[in-house]
């Protein structure tokens, strides 16, 4: 409960406040990053449900990130470091996405979708 809400008491001060963070899913307990997937899962399902998105495991975001990075021409050594993989593991899993020109048209659709969603969302 926020301290400015009707009926709040001094003992409620600070409870339920959202701390400003640059992260979509902020780490808990002042950690630098999300250390346990249970922290993420606690927030993941409710957010997907609220947005009307069918459930997908959070690790799908890793696959999407790796694929977009490779399609964009980022250095595989950098990407593998970000994901905690060896370069060999990264390339054996995602090599099919490197320089796949037919997929760029699909990526364009994603950008169009992102723009349409962001214009439909209320400003905060």
Q: DSSP of 21-50, one letter per residue?
A: -S-SSPPSTT-SS---HHHHHHHHHHHHHH
* Residue 53, both tokens: 């998105």
Q: Which of 77, 71, 58, 79 is nearest to 108 (CA)?
A: 71
Q: What is the pLDDT of residue 42?
A: 80
pLDDT tens for 7-25 read: 444 555 555 565 666 666 6
Classify burial at 122, counting beta carbons within 10 Å of its beta carbon; exposed 0-12, middle 13-18, buried 19 or more. Answer: exposed
Domain edges within the chain: 21-56, 59-124
Q: What is the mean pLDDT of each run of 10 residues along the chain (124 residues)?
A: 43 59 69 70 85 88 88 88 91 75 65 58 56
DSSP state of 7: T
Can you give the pTM of this predicted structure? 0.53
């Amino acid at each position: 409960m926020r301290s400015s809400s009707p009926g709040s008491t001094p003992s409620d001060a600070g409870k339920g406040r959202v701390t400003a963070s640059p992260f979509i899913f902020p780490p808990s307990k002042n950690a630098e990053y999300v250390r346990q997937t249970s922290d993420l899962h606690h927030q993941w399902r409710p957010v997907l449900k609220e947005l009307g998105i069918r459930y997908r495991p959070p690790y799908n975001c890793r696959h999407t990130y790796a694929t977009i990075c490779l399609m964009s021409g980022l250095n595989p050594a950098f990407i593998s470091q970000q994901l905690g993989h060896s370069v060999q593991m990264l390339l054996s899993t995602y090599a099919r996405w490197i320089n796949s020109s037919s997929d760029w048209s699909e990526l364009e659709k994603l950008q169009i979708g992102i723009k349409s969603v962001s214009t439909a969302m209320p400003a905060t």
